């Protein structure tokens, strides 16, 4: 931990000592990392295939056409069929399938039954399937990956804009401040949902356009806090002292005032992550989010609520959403606590 | 006397407020000499701090502005300097110590990083390691024990005296030519005060820097300064060497100020002497002598007094028409 400054190390120490937040953090990071390599756990392609003394790793890379394994089609091999053929032919070929052997886009139909299928270990649909026969666990995991990346991207963009603009507004004051206050007031009164609906009716939004569109209308909240904070800190004597040692305006803004406002920023951090996830989920729920068949929690929730008799759909989506949001909140709480230079104390 | 390092002449500072333009400094002039300390003394609101901020050009725009006058530092007029030039000077050639060490340090940065920052700004040729070593050296120089350990501490973990030492370390890091100390001991208790004053004197001897020491404590002035300028309502009203000032003050205000110091040998009996009346508001400053509404010697022609100082001796100047007529009490 030598790359951290002493106060950074102290904060890390404090953060680690807050067990609930720390374990939530570890759990959350592992979830994110695991979701980034979700193909290894949740996939309809096997991890390893041995076929006629050749070993294949189909997980990443191009599709392997059926001709490789002795079928007469050019599209991607149906590995489930291949697996059962291996078992039948008994000629030493084998393959290892991931734990959840379904892709989030795959409609798996069981003969003689209509989807959705309830959770079952024997069919390997551990959380059942949705109305179209797609595995819920697979869709939850891939949906999580998209939601968290979306939320982090949104957060980065809104923080960069909100923090720098807020700091400049608070620092310069005067006309600049007044003009941007009015602009922000106008922007925050624009009904974002309608804007996105209108845009969605013109173009099909993808990951990037949706993120930028949401960012364009959600950076304002942070600006107010940052502006107020800068105004307040600007009158403090240490800012004058910094000026007296020859620090420039930019330096004072970002090296002196910003670190003093950091506890406000990190307090908002979990809420921003949460709001990013909920924004995407609600848009997907309404059908204005990412185009289908992108795996998404909102879409799953929508299926679940319109088909309440198949409880496992709504239950999985709601449970996943609540767990992730709670984890993020715990993390945020611990970060804020760790950044607070004062120890918690009270009077008897 | 050696050549002046900093020459302030006819410095006028105006503040624009809702009530109109306030003439906060009126033709303030003084010199700073290397190795010497000038004390700037006066009551609250007389313009001491504004003078120090004006020297650094740290007056808040658009409220405060230098209307006239010049500040010559090594042949360069600071009034004409642009922001970049001033940034290079501040902390490097001219440094400042603030009144309240409790608030003048950034609460979220370590002591070490705050000293290193001066080197980051003005000694970029040093490597990161050298900067750290220099900072450590400075911290030792100002008498902080266990400096290595203190480098990683935050301001709130230090006592007031130690924080003021850190402030001094920051100010003196680049061995400035001029140190402006704006009431550096006011917020400290008396024993610490004495230590800090000793420290500043020692460091001054070492560096040969000029010091402008602002205070309202005449005791501190007597202890530390070579020359004194007394300010009243934005004007310098008397300039003298410290011995002259305490032994033969001429201006009625200075006399009043000295008389107001409680004496040890009068048994604590009798009322504490004060100067009658109030400092006039800057909004309706009387014409002529600014002290005349409180002055027991005031006469009609005091209305026509301007800012010029009348010379008593080479080192002793008084801004009063009648100082010759006033007898020592």
Q: Does the pLDDT value for residue A308 go beyond 90?
A: no
Residue A10 pLDDT class (50, 70, 90 cuts): confident
Please report which helix (H) or strand (E) contains residue B271, including its range.
none
Are B91 and A238 in contact (CB < 8 Å)? Answer: no
Q: Identify the pLDDT of residue A153.
A: 92
Q: Is B100 on the interface with A (CB under 8 A)?
A: yes
Q: Does the pLDDT value for residue A115 go beyond 80?
A: no
Q: Which of B207, B127, B198 is nearest to B171 (CA)?
A: B207
Residue A270 pLDDT class (50, 70, 90 cuts): confident
Q: Is B107 on the interface with A (CB under 8 A)?
A: yes
pLDDT: which is higher, A83 or A342:
A83
Residue B166, domain member (yes or no): no
The chain B residue lying nearest A339, using CA atoms, is B108
Q: Is B121 on the interface with A (CB under 8 A)?
A: yes
Q: What is the pLDDT of residues A190-230, one digit of tens each?
A: 888 888 888 888 888 888 888 888 888 888 888 999 999 99
Q: Is B117 on the interface with A (CB under 8 A)?
A: yes
Q: What's the average model confidence in pLDDT over A100-114?
A: 81
Residue B143 pLDDT class (50, 70, 90 cuts): confident
The whole-angstrom separation of Cα B181 and Cα B56 is 12
Residue B31, domain member (yes or no): no
The whole-angstrom separation of Cα B76 and Cα B6 is 10
Domain tally, chain B: 1
pLDDT: which is higher, A110 or A306:
A306
For residue B105, give how far its alpha carbon lies from the nearest alpha carbon of chain A (Å).
5
Of the partner residues B105, B107, B152, the one whose CB lies closest to the CB of residue A341: B107
For residue A49, give how far its alpha carbon lies from the nearest alpha carbon of chain B (Å).
55
Q: What's the average model confidence in pLDDT over A271-282?
A: 88
Are B105 and A238 in contact (CB < 8 Å)? Answer: yes
User: Taking the CB of residue A217, how many other CB atoms lie within 10 A of it?
Assistant: 16
Best B106, B115, B166, B176 residue to mutate vs chain A (most A CBs within 10 Å): B106
Peptide bond into B279 cis (omega under 30): no
C-beta separation of A99 from A46 below 8 A:
no
- Rg (Cα) of chain A, in Å, rounded? 26
Q: What's the average model confidence in pLDDT over A87-101?
A: 82
Of the partner residues B88, B103, B109, the one whose CB lies closest to the CB of residue A259: B109
Q: Identify the pLDDT of residue A1.
A: 41
Give domain limits for chain A. Answer: 10-37+138-339
Residue B8, domain member (yes or no): no
Q: Is A236 on the interface with B (CB under 8 A)?
A: yes
Q: Does the pLDDT value for residue B92 go beyond 70?
A: yes
Are B167 and A243 in contact (CB < 8 Å)? Answer: no
Cβ-Cβ pairs closer than 8 A, A with B, add up to 80
Residue B307 pLDDT class (50, 70, 90 cuts): confident
Are B108 and A247 in contact (CB < 8 Å)? Answer: no
Peptide bond into A293 cis (omega under 30): yes
Are B58 and A244 in contact (CB < 8 Å)? Answer: yes
User: Taking the CB of residue B296, how many other CB atoms lie within 10 A of it?
Assistant: 9
Q: Is B273 on the interface with A (CB under 8 A)?
A: no
Q: Is A264 on the interface with B (CB under 8 A)?
A: no
Average pLDDT over chain A reads 85
Best A231, A242, A244 residue to mutate vs chain B (most B CBs within 10 Å): A244
Residue A6 pLDDT class (50, 70, 90 cuts): low
Which pTM was predicted?
0.72
ipTM for the complex shown: 0.74
Residue A116 pLDDT class (50, 70, 90 cuts): confident
Please tell me the least confidently modeled range out of A167-176, B47-56, B255-264: B255-264
Interface of A with B in 90-119 (CB under 8 A): none
Of the partner residues B58, B86, B103, the one whose CB lies closest to the CB of residue A238: B103
Q: Does the pLDDT value for residue A246 go beyond 60?
A: yes
Q: What are phi and psi of B120, to 5 degrees?
A: -60, -35
Q: Identify the pLDDT of residue A342.
A: 65
Provide, as residue numbers in chain B, all residues whose Cβ is less than 8 Å from the Cβ of A5: 110, 113
Q: Is A152 on the interface with B (CB under 8 A)?
A: no
Please list, in sequence order, all residues whose beta carbon lies within 8 angstroms of the beta carbon of residue B69, skipping any fewer than 6 positions away: B8, B9, B10, B11, B12, B27, B28, B29, B79
Of the partner residues B91, B105, B156, the one whose CB lies closest to the CB of residue A244: B91
Q: What are phi and psi of B69, to 5 degrees?
A: 100, 175
Residue B266 pLDDT class (50, 70, 90 cuts): low
Tell me which fold the domain A10-37+138-339 belongs to: MetI-like fold (1.10.3720)
Q: Identify the pLDDT of residue A3.
A: 61
Residue A93 pLDDT class (50, 70, 90 cuts): confident
Q: Is A238 on the interface with B (CB under 8 A)?
A: yes
Q: Does the pLDDT value for residue B241 go beyond 80?
A: yes
The whole-angstrom separation of Cα B93 and Cα A128 is 74
Residue A182 pLDDT class (50, 70, 90 cuts): very high
Q: How far is CA B22 from CA B53, B59, B233, in A?
A: 16, 14, 11
Residue B246, domain member (yes or no): yes
Provide, as residue numbers in chain A, all residues whose Cβ is less than 8 Å from the Cβ of B171: 245
The chain B residue lying nearest A260, using CA atoms, is B108
Q: Is A244 on the interface with B (CB under 8 A)?
A: yes
Give the whole-number percent of chain A exceeding pLDDT 90: 20
Residue A145 pLDDT class (50, 70, 90 cuts): very high
Residue B267 pLDDT class (50, 70, 90 cuts): low
The whole-angstrom separation of Cα A226 and Cα A222 is 6
The whole domain housing B238 covers: 231-263+274-329
Residue B224, domain member (yes or no): no
Provide, as residue numbers in chain B, all residues whose Cβ is less than 8 Å from the Cβ of A242: 106, 117
Q: What's the average model confidence in pLDDT over B252-279?
A: 79
Residue B297, domain member (yes or no): yes
The chain B residue lying nearest A341, using CA atoms, is B108
Provide, as residue numbers in chain A, all residues whose Cβ is less than 8 Å from the Cβ of B182: none
pLDDT: which is higher, A302 or A263:
A302
Q: What's the average model confidence in pLDDT over A288-308?
A: 86
Q: Identify the pLDDT of residue B196.
A: 86
Residue B44 pLDDT class (50, 70, 90 cuts): confident
Please tell me the least confidently modeled range out of B41-50, B56-65, B205-214, B259-268: B259-268
Q: Which of B226, B173, B176 is nearest to B30 (CA)?
A: B226
Q: Does the pLDDT value for residue A2 go beyond 60?
A: no
Are B104 and A240 in contact (CB < 8 Å)? Answer: yes
Interface of B with A in 60-99 (CB under 8 A): 86-92, 95-96, 98
Residue B1 pLDDT class (50, 70, 90 cuts): low
Q: What's the average model confidence in pLDDT over A274-290?
A: 87
The chain B residue lying nearest A172, using CA atoms, is B61
Q: Does the pLDDT value for residue B6 go beyond 70?
A: yes
Of the partner residues B86, B108, B122, the one whose CB lies closest to the CB of residue A260: B108
Of the partner residues B89, B108, B112, the one whose CB lies closest to the CB of residue A246: B89
Q: Environment class of residue A282 by beta-carbon count within 10 Å: exposed (0-12), middle (13-18) or buried (19+)?
A: middle
Q: Which of A33, A32, A60 is nearest to A46 (CA)?
A: A60
Average pLDDT over chain B reads 86
Provide, as residue numbers in chain A, all residues whose Cβ is less than 8 Å from the Cβ of B118: 245-246
For residue A322, give the 3-state DSSP assignment: helix
The chain B residue lying nearest A261, using CA atoms, is B108
Q: What is the pLDDT of residues A49-80, one digit of tens each?
A: 888 888 888 888 788 888 888 888 888 888 88
Residue B329, domain member (yes or no): yes
C-beta separation of A213 from A199 below 8 A:
yes
Best A13, A232, A238, A261 residue to mutate vs chain B (most B CBs within 10 Å): A238
Q: Identify the pLDDT of residue B328.
A: 59
Are A245 and B105 in contact (CB < 8 Å)? Answer: no
Q: Identify the pLDDT of residue A154.
A: 92
Give the whole-number percent of chain B exceeding pLDDT 70: 97
């Amino acid at each position: 931990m030598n790359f951290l400054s002493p106060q950074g190390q102290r904060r890390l120490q404090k953060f680690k000592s807050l067990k609930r937040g720390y374990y939530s953090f570890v759990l959350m990071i592992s979830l994110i990392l695991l979701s980034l390599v979700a193909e290894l756990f949740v996939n309809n392609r096997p991890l390893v295939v041995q076929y006629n003394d050749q070993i294949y790793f189909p997980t990443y890379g191009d599709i392997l056409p059926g001709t490789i394994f002795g079928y007469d089609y050019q599209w991607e091999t149906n590995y489930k069929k291949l697996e059962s053929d291996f078992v039948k032919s008994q000629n030493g070929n084998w393959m290892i399938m991931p734990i959840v052997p379904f892709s989030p886009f795959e409609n798996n139909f069981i003969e003689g039954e209509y989807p959705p299928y309830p959770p079952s270990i024997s069919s390997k649909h551990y959380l059942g399937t949705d109305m179209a026969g797609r595995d819920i666990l697979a869709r939850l995991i891939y949906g999580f990956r998209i939601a968290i990346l979306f939320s982090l991207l949104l957060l980065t963009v809104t923080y960069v804009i909100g923090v720098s603009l807020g700091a400049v507004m608070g620092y310069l004051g005067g006309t600049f401040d007044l003009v941007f206050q009015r602009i922000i007031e106008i922007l925050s009164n624009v009904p974002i949902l309608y804007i996105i609906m209108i845009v969605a009716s013109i173009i099909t939004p993808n990951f990037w356009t949706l993120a930028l569109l949401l960012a364009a209308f959600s950076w304002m909240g942070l600006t107010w806090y940052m502006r107020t904070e800068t105004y307040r800190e600007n009158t403090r004597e240490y800012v004058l002292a910094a000026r007296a040692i020859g620090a420039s305006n930019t330096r004072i803004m970002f090296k002196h005032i910003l670190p003093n406002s950091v506890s406000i920023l990190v307090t908002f951090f979990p809420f921003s992550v949460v709001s990013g996830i909920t924004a995407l989920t609600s848009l997907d729920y309404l059908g204005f989010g990412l185009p289908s068949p992108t795996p998404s929690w909102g879409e799953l929730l929508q299926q679940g609520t319109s088909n309440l008799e198949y409880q496992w759909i709504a239950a999985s989506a709601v449970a996943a959403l609540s767990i992730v949001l709670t984890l993020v909140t715990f993390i945020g709480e611990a970060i804020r606590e760790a950044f607070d230079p004062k120890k918690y104390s009270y009077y008897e | 006397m050696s050549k002046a390092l900093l020459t302030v002449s006819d410095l006028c500072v105006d503040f624009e407020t809702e009530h109109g333009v306030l003439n906060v400094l009126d033709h303030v002039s003084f010199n700073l000499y290397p190795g010497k300390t000038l004390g700037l003394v006066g009551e609250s609101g007389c313009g001491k701090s504004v003078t120090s901020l004006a020297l650094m050009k740290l007056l808040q725009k658009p409220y405060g502005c230098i209307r006239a006058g010049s500040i010559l530092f090594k042949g360069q007029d600071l009034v004409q300097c642009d922001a970049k030039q001033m940034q290079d000077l501040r902390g490097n050639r001219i440094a400042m110590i603030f009144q309240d060490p409790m608030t003048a340090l950034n609460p979220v940065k370590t002591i070490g990083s705050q000293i290193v920052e001066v080197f980051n700004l003005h000694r970029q040729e040093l490597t990161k390691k050298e900067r750290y070593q220099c900072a450590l050296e400075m911290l030792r120089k100002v008498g902080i024990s266990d400096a290595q350990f203190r480098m990683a501490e935050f301001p709130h973990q230090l006592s007031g005296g130690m924080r003021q030492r850190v402030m001094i370390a920051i100010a003196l890091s680049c061995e400035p030519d001029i140190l402006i100390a704006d009431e550096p001991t006011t917020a400290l208790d008396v024993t610490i005060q004495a230590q800090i004053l000793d420290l500043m004197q020692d460091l001054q001897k070492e560096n040969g820097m000029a010091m402008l020491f602002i205070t309202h404590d005449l005791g501190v002035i007597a202890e530390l300064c070579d020359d004194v300028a007394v300010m009243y309502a934005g004007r310098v009203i008397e300039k003298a060497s410290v011995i002259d000032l305490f032994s033969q003050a001429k201006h009625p205000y200075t006399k009043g100020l000295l008389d107001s110091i409680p004496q040890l040998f009068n048994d604590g009996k009798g009322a504490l002497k004060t100067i009658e009346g109030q400092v006039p508001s800057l909004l309706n400053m009387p014409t002529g002598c600014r002290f005349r509404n409180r002055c027991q010697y005031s006469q009609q022609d005091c209305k026509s007094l301007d800012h010029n100082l009348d010379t008593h001796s080479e080192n002793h100047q008084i801004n009063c028409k009648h100082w010759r007529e006033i007898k020592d009490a």
